[in-house]
Amino acid sequence: MTLSLTSSLWHDVEISTLFSAEAEIASVLRYETALAEAQAEIGLLNADAATAISNACSQFKPDLMLLQTAIARDGLAVPELIGQLRQALPQQYSDKLHFHATSQDAIDTTTILACGAALSIMELRLLGVVEQLATLSAQSGDVKQMARTRFQRALPITVAERLGAWVVSLRYSIEQLATLRSQCLMLQIGGPIGTDPSPWAEALARRLGLAAPTASWQTARGRIVQIGTWAAVVSGSLGKIGADIALMAQNEIAEVEIAGGGTSSAMTHKSNPVAAEILVALARYNATLIAGLHQSMVHEQERSGSAWTLEWIVLPQMLECTGAALRHTRDLFNRVKFR
């Protein structure tokens, strides 16, 4: 994909990098190394094999041309990647690599690892926004404004109360992260058709910093939906803030002033609440995308290429969209003054 002029508005480099080709390859190598080490830990592989695999992974550079051809044919990268990696191994260890694993074990697990990293980035940004709101509340919390319900003046409200209502939803999402980490950031394991017992699951999960599964979730995609839902709830909460600020910034209401507002090509007197409006757009975009993750729950048989591909298209975008929304929020709160 080539990038449009305005695409920086809805992209987030830090999040998207986690899902880049480079990061995916590195993550598969990390997975294969940890798999071998975990299997060695429980005595399924001997230590030499694990060391050889670890060494090979640490030095491996894939043939990207072959990889791209294979993706077009296979619809995924792992079979070819493992094939290339096997050739980089001393032959006696070749069949110890990716032992009892299947592409889905590697792909789902590395997806979850990337999600976990994205959640950590967003947690920091969320905490930063909550802190900004605390500072703004300390500065201007006593300012009296007018609460409005159904677009009509209701009763007086302070800035502290208004910001407090925003914080309620952000804290809710921050608190949900613990649940998400323990229940959804889970190792995938199960072999070709999701039925293999995997005595190395705990050892592998520990190495990767993931929850250990009690069963394969390869066709049970509720956890993927929950991760996307978390992202959409965060961007939804930020969209609510954006809608509020755009309304507060109306000239006749003027409850907020935004420094460095957007300019217009035809009307030089204007100062547009651009970041606030973008927050609304991003909220509605994620609210649109989440339906795609739910559609992909209809994951037929023991592996659905259709449903799985749909997840790959949707999930990283949702996280990136929320990342971008958090970025715009931080930027916006650096420039607002309540009055």
The footprint of its own copies on residues 282-301 (CB under 8 A) is: 283-292, 294-301
Per CB under 8 A, contacts with its own copies among 153-192 are: 153-155, 157, 161, 164-165, 168-169, 172-173, 179, 191-192
Nearer Cβ to its own copies, position 79 or 128? 79
Nearer Cβ to its own copies, position 135 or 264? 264
Nearer Cβ to its own copies, position 53 or 290? 290
Residue 222 sits in the site that holds its own copies (CB under 8 A): yes
CA atoms within 13 A on the CB side of 166: 26
Residue 130 sits in the site that holds its own copies (CB under 8 A): no
Least spacing, CB of residue 327 vs its own copies, in Å = 10
Nearer Cβ to its own copies, position 133 or 233? 233
Residue 116 sits in the site that holds its own copies (CB under 8 A): no
Residue 247 sits in the site that holds its own copies (CB under 8 A): yes
**Residue span binding its own copies (CB under 8 A) among the ranges 41-49, 135-143, 199-207, 277-285:** 277-285
DSSP 235-262: HHHHHHHHHHHHHHTSTTT--EEETTPB
Residue 233 sits in the site that holds its own copies (CB under 8 A): yes
Residue 94 sits in the site that holds its own copies (CB under 8 A): no
Least spacing, CB of residue 289 vs its own copies, in Å = 6
Distances (CA, A) of 179 to 119, 314, 316, 328: 12, 22, 20, 26
Size (the chain), residues: 339
Instruction: Give the relative orientation of helices 159-183 and 222-248 as an angle to the nearest 10 degrees.
Output: 170
> Cα(210)–Cα(214) distance, rounded to whole angstroms?
13
**Residue span binding its own copies (CB under 8 A) among the ranges 36-44, 123-131, 203-211, 256-264:** 256-264
If binding means CB under 8 A, how many residues of this protein chain bind its own copies?
Answer: 138
Least spacing, CB of residue 317 vs its own copies, in Å = 9
**Interface pattern 61-80 for its own copies (x via CB under 8 A):** ------xx-xxxxxxxxxx-
> What are the b/e assignments for 286-306, b being 16+ CB within 10 Å?
beebbebbeebeebeeebbee
3-state secondary structure at position 149: strand
Q: Which of 89, 159, 194, 256 binds its own copies (CB under 8 A)?
A: 194
Which own/partner contact pairs does 191-195 have at CB distance under 8 Å and 24+ positions apart? 191/100, 191/101, 191/102, 191/105, 192/102, 193/302, 193/303, 194/104, 194/218, 194/219, 194/302, 194/303
> Cα(86)–Cα(93) distance, rounded to whole angstroms?
8
